[in-house]
Amino acid sequence: DRDEVENVTIAYDQLLLLGDEQVLSRLMLVASMMELEGCLPVPAISWNVSPNCEDEEEKKAVERLGFLFLAYRPSMWWFEIAEMIRKLVMASVLVFVWEGSPSQVGAGFVITFAAVTVSLALQPYSDRELGAMYTFSLMVQAVTLLSGLMIITQRFQEILGEDD
């Protein structure tokens, strides 16, 4: 008990010697480490959609285009644009590139797997359940593409007459 009290006293004395900026930076460092360990649950920051929002710019943006970005954390507002580009590539560009070949399905798998990786790394959604559902749907799409790639490759081997 005495050792613990002495350690706390020493830490307190060291804290008194620090400036405000140093205290804040150390506090942020400890808080981020605790959050990573799961000891400090911090709620996600979300958009202010209440009618009494003081920021007129944010209020206008939410009213006009909120359906595009309200599901995302404020720092990830751009993720819907990136997702639409991914869907455009998957739905239109891949149709014209390597049509009917295993490379087409392989490219789709690589794009989908990259999207899963980015989604897990950035965690763009403000709601964890929505993020989990998005990641799960991408994983299902990746497994479907991988299965299709295996079937197409097997068919090509049969056509070419290659044996296992």
Q: Could you tell me which residue, 153 or 48, shows the higher pLDDT? A: 153
3-class state of residue 73 by DSSP:
coil
HEC string of 90-111 equals HHHHHHHCCCCCHHHHHHHHHH
The pLDDT assigned to 47 comes to 61
Position 121, amino acid: A
Structural contact between residues 72 and 79, judged by C-beta atoms closer than 8 angstroms:
yes
pLDDT at residue 20, rounded to an integer = 83
The larger pLDDT score, comparing residue 32 to residue 144, is at: 144
Domain boundaries, the chain: 2-37, 71-160
Burial of 125 from C-beta contacts in 10 A (0-12 / 13-18 / 19+): buried
Residue at 130: amino acid letter: L
pLDDT digits (tens, 9 = 90+) for 57-116: 777 777 787 777 778 888 888 999 999 999 999 998 888 887 878 889 999 999 999 999
pLDDT tens, 33-57? 877 776 766 565 566 666 666 677 7
For the cut 60, the answer to whether the pLDDT of residue 152 exceeds it is yes
CA-nearest of 133, 139, 141, 80 to 108 is 141
Average pLDDT over residues 122-133: 92
Task: Tell me the average pLDDT across 4-20.
Answer: 86
SS3 of residue 80 by DSSP: helix
164: pLDDT confidence band, cut at 50, 70 and 90?
low
Look at residue 123 and tell me whether its pLDDT is greater than 90: yes
- DSSP annotation of 76 reads G
| Predicted local distance difference test score (pLDDT) of residue 49 | 61
Cα–Cα distance between 11 and 129 in angstroms, integer?
A: 40
H helices, E strands: number in the chain: 7, 0
pLDDT at 132: 95
